[in-house]
Amino acid sequence: MIPPWLRKFMLTVHITFAVSWIGAVVCFLALAIAGLTSRDIQMVQAAYLAMELIARFIIVPLSFAPLLTGPILSLGTPWGLFKHYWILAKLVITVFSTIIMQLHMQPIELLAAAATKTTFLSADLHSMQVQMVVASAVALMALLVEMALAVYKPKGMTPYGWRKQDEQRAMPPKDSQE
């Protein structure tokens, strides 16, 4: 178990990264909608350039950060990483979101490159523009689900969690061993 001061520090870092990730995805979604719907070419160019910067320097690093702080926090406390379904669900969503984000980096870069080189975006890029809106909306929903899981902590232990609990109960108290 990690000491309380370190647990609080890690929790602060974890919440900061997670909330920043949500904020960055909200900004990304707003820019993706602006890029898709605006008729002003300067607005469209600015939106896709900003989206690439946000994705490269904020969203991608922030998607990896909770993967580090989350397991440290859960493994350093009695909650564990695989004992409770809600923690397992958060881990799965984070891993899945990070993979999806990595897969969508190429379309973002292509859109940003196209926005700088052309005065209008061709119909070929239309599907990618929509893809950005859909992907960021899905990512936002996933992150909100994660936040709700962390707040509500729905009950339910995994078979591994029950086994560990049974093992701990079967062990005699430390005082009686002496």
Partner 1 sequence: MSQNRATPRWVKVATIIAIVLVVILVVLHITGNGFSHHGSIPLYSAIASIIQNGIQLL
Exactly one of 155, 170, 171, 173 binds partner 1 (CB under 8 A); that residue is: 155
Exactly one of 29, 81, 87, 133 binds partner 1 (CB under 8 A); that residue is: 133
Residues 99-128 within binding reach of partner 1 (CB under 8 A): 103-104, 107, 110, 123-128
In sequence order, what are the beta bridge partners of 84? 157
Residues in the chain: 178
Q: Are 150 and 89 in contact (CB under 8 A)?
A: no
Report the alpha-carbon distance of residue 121 to residue 126 in Å, rounded. 8
Report the alpha-carbon distance of residue 36 to residue 10 in Å, rounded. 39
Task: Supply the minimum distance, in Å, between the C-beta of residue 119 and partner 1.
Answer: 20
Q: Which residue, 76 or 107, has its beta carbon nearer to partner 1?
A: 107
What phi-psi label fits residue 154: left (phi over 0), alpha (psi between -120 and 50 degrees) or beta? beta
Exactly one of 6, 134, 144, 148 binds partner 1 (CB under 8 A); that residue is: 134
Q: Which residue, 25 or 133, has its beta carbon nearer to partner 1?
A: 133
Give the tokens for residue 91: 């881990």
147 contacts partner 1 (rule: CB under 8 A) = no
Report the alpha-carbon distance of residue 168 to residue 148 in Å, rounded. 30
Q: Which residue, 4 or 159, has its beta carbon nearer to partner 1?
A: 159
Q: Which residues bind partner 1 (CB under 8 A)?
A: 33, 36-37, 85, 89, 92, 103-104, 107, 110, 123-131, 133-134, 154-157, 159, 162
